[in-house]
Structures are given as C-alpha cells and as structure tokens.
Amino acid sequence: MQVPPADRPNGLAPNILREPTPDEEQRHRLHVAACALLLELAQADAEFNQIEHSHIEAVVRRHLGLDAETARALIELAEHERQAAPGVEEFASLVRHSYDEGQRALLAEIMWGVVSADGRIGRHEGRILGRIASLLDLKPGFLSEARRRPDDN
C-alpha cells in the first residue's frame, strides 16, 4: 500500500496533460479496493463511527502517502464503489492477485486495527474479517498473530 502515482495530483486524479499509464490505473484501482475492504470491516457492526473513520483516514494517509484531502476523496470513492459492488469478493481478488504475501499480511494487520479502533470487536466484525482474510489467501492462524501485534497501523 505504498507510493501514490507521482503524476497524479494528490495521488488520485490523472494529470490532464496525459493519460495515466496502465500501471498507474492498476495502482489506483488497488488503493480503492484495499480501502473498500477497510470500509466493509468498519461498517460490519452497522455502526461506522468517527473513531473508525479517523482510523481509516490515518492509515490511508500513512500507508499511501496521501494528504488529508486526497485521503478523504479516496475513502469517498471507495465507499461509493463498495456500495455499488455485490460483495467484497472483487476487491479481495484484486488485492490477492496484486499484493505479495507481506503486503496482504500488512493489510490484515491494518484491518485488525480498524475493527478494534472503537474499543470493541463485534462478532459480525470478526466473522467478516475472517472471511476477507480467507479471500486474501492468508495463511491459517495469521489473524491470531496479527491481533497480538502492537497496534501501530
């Protein structure tokens, strides 16, 4: 989840002087997909509060190197895409096929941070987290390990 496209102002909108490259478009779609997965988890308990929203914005800014305005725009776009999608499978598939195991593991740690940001982990949140981890093809037991790590994501 690193390195925003250099030729996109704030990492989102393509430079109007030229078309984005296929790699830039792919990276942008991947950022939207990863953010959509985080939003799915945050809303799993039917309550998307300011603590969870702030946590997602902070990790998006930190891991993607975005400013606050661009991070908010990415979150808004990802939420729109998430609502329009029939489920999380498409997002998870893109992440699974694009991220290496280490990147998927980091995303899983970030997901734990999202579900625990409000101080409680609901049963539904845990179930959806497990489902997404499975869709990301994470090794069995990884979520338990990630949960025990210090929360710096």
Whole-prediction pTM:
0.81
Average of pLDDT values for 134-145? 78
51-62 residue pLDDT tens: 889 999 999 999
Q: Which domains does the chain have, with CATH numbers?
A: 22-148 (1.10.3680.10)
List, for residues 5-63, the tens digit of each pLDDT value. 444 444 555 555 678 788 889 999 999 999 999 999 998 877 778 888 999 999 999 99
Question: What token pair was written down for 70?
Answer: 């661009």
Q: Give the pLDDT of residue 61.
A: 96
Note the pLDDT of residue 15.
52
78 pLDDT tier (thresholds 50, 70, 90)? very high
